[in-house]
């Protein structure tokens, strides 16, 4: 049995319609994902469902387009890297993801779009949610004329201390 079979079976599943023509709620993760996409104003296409399943099926996490593309290839989801980028940006614009600018060469996407802060492990290229610790940012400058501050992100960059050789 290939990796594709479970994902393909879920994506091909059809929910029976109830008497009023609506899809009954059965607690199906795929049905929940379809509803989530529709509420965000996105049509639940096969590619969006496939990538959404990979993105949101593992809880809150942080990944790049390349990481999601690799997961899609392992799951035998037929998408291009350009489609992955487009979908991530559509999900971000719809409020389903949060884009993090941590490294000049690549963008990370957070499946938890709520306001929270992050640690960035520089050597590993890994992003971790910062525990809620009451961080406050004081003395923000006034926004330019006609603008307002939409949010403040705190990213704490971490690296391992060099091990000192003692002899």
Q: Torsions phi, psi of 95, nearest 5?
A: 85, 10
14-70 pLDDT, tens per residue? 443 344 444 444 557 888 899 999 999 999 999 999 999 999 988 899 999 999 999
Checking if the pLDDT of 94 tops 90, the result is yes
Q: Torsions phi, psi of 34, nearest 5?
A: -55, -45
CB 96 within 8 Å of CB 40 = yes
CB 64 within 8 Å of CB 109 = yes
59-89 pLDDT, tens per residue? 899 999 999 999 999 999 999 999 999 999 9
Query: What is the C-alpha separation between 63 and 79, in angstroms, rounded?
Result: 17
Each domain of the chain, given as residue ranges in start order, spans: 27-113
Q: How many CA atoms does the CB half-sphere of 151 hold within 13 Å?
A: 10
129-163 pLDDT, tens per residue? 888 877 777 788 889 999 998 877 788 888 888 88
Query: What is the C-alpha separation between 83 and 106, in angstroms, rounded?
Result: 16
Kindly indicate whether the domain formed by 27-113 is annotated with CATH number 3.40.430.10. no
pLDDT of res. 24 = 46
Please give the biggest Cα pair distance in the chain: 79
Q: How confident is residue 166, by pLDDT bands cut at 50, 70 and 90?
A: low
Q: How confident is residue 115, by pLDDT bands cut at 50, 70 and 90?
A: confident
Q: What angle do CA 77, 79, 83 make, to 5 degrees?
A: 140
Checking if the pLDDT of 104 tops 80, the result is no
Q: What angle do CA 96, 140, 136 make, to 5 degrees?
A: 65
pLDDT of res. 82 = 97
């Amino acid at each position: 049995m290939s990796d594709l079979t479970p994902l393909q079976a879920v994506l091909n599943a059809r929910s029976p319609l109830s008497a009023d023509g609506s899809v009954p709620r059965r607690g199906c993760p795929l049905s929940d994902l379809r509803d989530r996409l529709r509420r965000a104003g996105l049509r639940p296409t096969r590619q969006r469902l496939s990538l959404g399943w990979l993105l949101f099926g593992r809880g809150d996490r942080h990944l790049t387009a390349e990481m999601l593309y690799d997961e899609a290839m392992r799951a035998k989801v037929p998408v291009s890297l350009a489609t992955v980028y487009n979908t991530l940006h559509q999900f971000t614009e719809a409020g389903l993801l949060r884009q993090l600018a941590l490294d000049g060469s690549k963008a990370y996407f957070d499946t938890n779009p709520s306001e929270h802060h992050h640690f960035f492990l520089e050597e590993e290229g890994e992003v971790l949610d910062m525990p809620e610790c009451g961080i406050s940012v004081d003395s923000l400058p006034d926004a330019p004329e006609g603008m307002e501050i939409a949010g403040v992100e705190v990213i704490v960059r971490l690296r391992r201390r060099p091990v000192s050789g003692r002899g």
